[in-house]
């Protein structure tokens, strides 16, 4: 039986440097993210800086004593760390550099790496998802950092005079008092970047460095320290020149002519995916899985559980769930993996998920989706999401309700998700319209870079709203870098089927049923509701009662930024402005399919995807 080391708890982080007001007043804002850590909270002032403070809300995945933050150790009393995330390779790094831990949590590795190597090398060595605030009082520095794809959220507010405020969610910053005449910008911290500030004696800061440390297309530097060495190089028999003997089997960065034998590629995809799931099993709370039945249209999430969220699809969640159950048996988990699906009684998702669950042998839960309940949840969903993007809200409502069920009715807490698969593997229906493999590859990379604005944002907020933790194996650094390094023509839809390479990679293994493995993508709204009426149609009926024609006609005057083009978009924007007035800039653009003329993000707008109620 494998014993997993402790990881940091799911949490909400909040920090102020150079506050213009009493901290006891400012700290009330930190309570707006209490849902991210419902088990415990803590506020702590910084020695010698009375206007600097850390706030932390804890969801106890592991030991509560060691999991509380800000994290400090006796060896480095001048370092303060507040972070949200998981560092999967912390034990390998501890052993490699012979660090002596004083706690049992993964986050301590950040303190050791920073003290020995500095901030830039520290972040490049981390295999995981994270958002952190690190204070170095000895050198008068404040450092911020966020993982490559923004799986863990973080927002920052910086005033003209150097008052810095940081929070896991923007809502924890909107009512911070400050000395500026107009509200300062609150913006998401850019994924894959770190920022360094100098800390003045007044507690105020000045930004001195903002730098990207990793992109999803680059092989991560931490790969050289990875304990996983299973990748194969291309077979020399397929090339005119044999690969150099200095190439290591685990090295992703092989020259193009050596690495693209199809069978080798498929094997590597399987190896990297299984390793991505395995490394994310480190948790001491129950494992479960939200399981979507369609092969595309709902995302997965595992609590450590697998859930599916309304966007990636049943293929993705099924692969995550099946791999999770397989690894759970190998590691002798003491309980069955729970899976969860949501839909109306006769919906395609419910029926297909039931089939997958029976195939993999999970303990399956079916959550009845009531469209009226979904309509009632719209406002609270938008409050948690902090966006008015139409696609995100539609999908989030269903994911929000299934996460609510999981929190109230089960003991699953950590959520694995299939988020990112559609973006990584070209799973959206409009990829069939791609003008060339090169254009499709560029679009895939664009979608990956914007995940933190859309699907990853949705998955984080809907799970965190109910005190659940999200884990996303499809967004593993090494898996992403490898898949995106493949030639564009290998990754495009083939034979009328999107994600063809991913499906081919798992063909013939009996991991999931063949009809699920090869099922075509259908719109999400056609998967969770019955054959009689879709979730999309229920939403359209509701917004007709909320927005009239004259309102929509004047939308450009009322909402000049990201002007809503439909009544549904107008309604969501109204609700957003109710909670976050004047913050429309948090969204730069709506999620929309490319290469077609569309005013709606639904897959229904793509001609290849005709809703089929017999599916």
Q: Which positions ≥6 away from 215 have C-beta within 8 Å?
A: 148, 192
* Catalytic site residue from 11, 53, 167, 403: 11
Peptide bond into 437 cis (omega under 30): no
Whether residue 417 is annotated as binding a ligand: the answer is yes
Ramachandran angles phi, psi of 167, nearest 5°: -155, 155
The enclosing H or E element of 211 equals strand 205-212
588, 593, 597, 599 alpha-carbon torsion, rounded to 10°: -60
Dist CA 531 CA 524 (whole Å): 13
Whether residue 418 is annotated as binding a ligand: the answer is yes
Residue 144's nearest CA partner among 105, 85, 195 is 195
Indicate if the alpha-carbon torsion angle 376, 382, 388, 390 is positive or negative.
negative
Active site residue 11: yes
Q: Both tokens of residue 176?
A: 């911070």
Number of other residues whose CB lies within 10 A of the CB of residue 515? 10
Q: Both tokens of residue 379?
A: 């406002």
Ramachandran angles phi, psi of 476, nearest 5°: -60, 140
Q: Assess contact for 386 and 171: CB atoms under 8 A.
A: yes
Whether residue 172 is annotated as binding a ligand: the answer is no
3-state secondary structure of 440: helix
Classify residue 369 by burial, with Cβ atoms within 10 Å: 0-12, 13-18, 19+.
buried
Q: Which positions ≥6 away from 162 have C-beta within 8 Å?
A: 18, 200, 202, 204, 205, 206
Dist CA 284 CA 296 (whole Å): 31
Cα first-last separation, the chain: 41
Classify residue 482 by burial, with Cβ atoms within 10 Å: 0-12, 13-18, 19+.
buried
Number of other residues whose CB lies within 10 A of the CB of residue 234? 22
H helix intervals, 465-517? 477-485, 488-491, 500-505, 514-517
The torsion region of residue 508 among left (phi > 0), alpha (psi -120 to 50) and beta comes to left
Whether residue 412 is annotated as binding a ligand: the answer is no
- Residues of the binding site for L-glutamine: 106
Binding site, by residue number, is 106, 290, 342, 417-418
- Active-site positions read 11
Annotation: binding site for ATP:
290, 342, 417-418
């Amino acid at each position: 039986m494998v014993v997993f080391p402790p990881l940091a708890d799911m949490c909400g982080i909040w920090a102020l440097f150079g506050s213009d007001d009493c901290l006891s007043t400012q700290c009330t804002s930190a309570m707006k993210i209490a849902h991210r850590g419902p088990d415990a909270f803590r506020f702590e002032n910084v020695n010698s800086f009375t206007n600097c403070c850390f706030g932390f809300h804890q969801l106890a995945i592991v030991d509560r004593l060691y999991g509380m933050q800000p994290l400090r150790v006796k060896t480095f009393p001048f370092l303060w760390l507040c972070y949200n995330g998981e560092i999967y390779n912390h034990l390998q790094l501890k052993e490699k550099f012979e660090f002596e831990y004083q706690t049992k949590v993964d986050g301590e590795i950040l303190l050791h790496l920073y003290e020995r190597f500095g901030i830039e090398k520290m972040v490049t060595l981390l295999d995981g998802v994270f958002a952190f605030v690190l204070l170095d009082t000895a050198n008068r520095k404040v450092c911020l950092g966020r993982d490559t794809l923004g799986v863990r959220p973080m927002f920052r507010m910086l005033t003209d005079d150097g008052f810095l405020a940081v929070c896991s969610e923007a809502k924890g910053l909107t009512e911070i008092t400050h000395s500026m005449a107009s509200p300062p910008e609150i913006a998401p911290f850019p994924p894959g970047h770190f920022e360094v500030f100098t800390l003045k004696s007044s507690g105020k800061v000045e930004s001195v460095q903002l730098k990207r440390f990793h992109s999803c297309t680059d092989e991560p530097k931490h790969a050289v320290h990875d304990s996983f060495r299973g990748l194969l190089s291309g077979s020399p028999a397929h090339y005119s020149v044999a690969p150099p003997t200095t190439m290591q089997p685990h090295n992703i960065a092989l020259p193009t002519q050596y690495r693209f034998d199809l069978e080798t590629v498929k094997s590597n995809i399987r190896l990297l995916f299984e390793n991505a799931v395995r490394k994310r099993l480190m948790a001491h709370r129950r494992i479960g899985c939200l399981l979507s039945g369609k092969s595309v249209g709902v995302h997965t999430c595992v609590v450590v559980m697998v859930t599916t969220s309304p966007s990636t699809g049943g293929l993705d969640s099924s692969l995550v769930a099946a791999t999770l159950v397989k690894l759970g048996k190998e590691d002798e988990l003491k309980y069955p993996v729970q899976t969860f699906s949501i839909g109306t009684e006769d919906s395609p998702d419910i029926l297909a998920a039931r089939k997958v669950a029976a195939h993999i042998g999970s303990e399956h839960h079916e959550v009845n989706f009531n469209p009226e309940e979904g309509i009632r949840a719209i406002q609270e969903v938008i409050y948690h999401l902090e966006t008015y993007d139409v696609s995100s809200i539609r999908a989030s409502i269903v994911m929000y309700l299934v996460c609510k069920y999981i929190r109230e009715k089960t003991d699953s807490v950590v959520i694995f998700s299939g988020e990112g698969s559609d973006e990584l593997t070209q799973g959206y229906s409009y990829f069939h319209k791609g003008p060339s493999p090169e254009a499709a590859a560029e679009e895939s990379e664009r979608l990956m870079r914007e995940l933190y604005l859309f699907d990853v944002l949705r998955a984080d907020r809907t799970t965190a709203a109910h005190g659940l933790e999200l884990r996303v194996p499809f967004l593993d650094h090494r898996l992403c870098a490898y898949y995106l390094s493949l030639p564009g023509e290998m990754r495009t839809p083939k034979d009328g089927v999107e994600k063809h390479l991913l499906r081919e990679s798992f063909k013939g293994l009996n991991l999931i049923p063949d009809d699920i493995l090869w099922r075509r993508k259908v719109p999400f709204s056609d998967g969770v509701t019955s054959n009689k009426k879709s979730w999309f149609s229920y939403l359209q009926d509701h917004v007709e009662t909320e927005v009239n024609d004259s309102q929509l006609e004047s939308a450009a005057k009322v909402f000049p930024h990201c002007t809503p083009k439909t009544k549904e978009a107008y309604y969501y924007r109204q609700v957003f402005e109710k909670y976050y007035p004047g913050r429309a800039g948090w969204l730069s653009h709506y999620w929309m399919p490319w290469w077609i003329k569309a005013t709606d993000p639904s897959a229904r707008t793509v001609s290849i995807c005709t809703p089929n109620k017999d599916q």
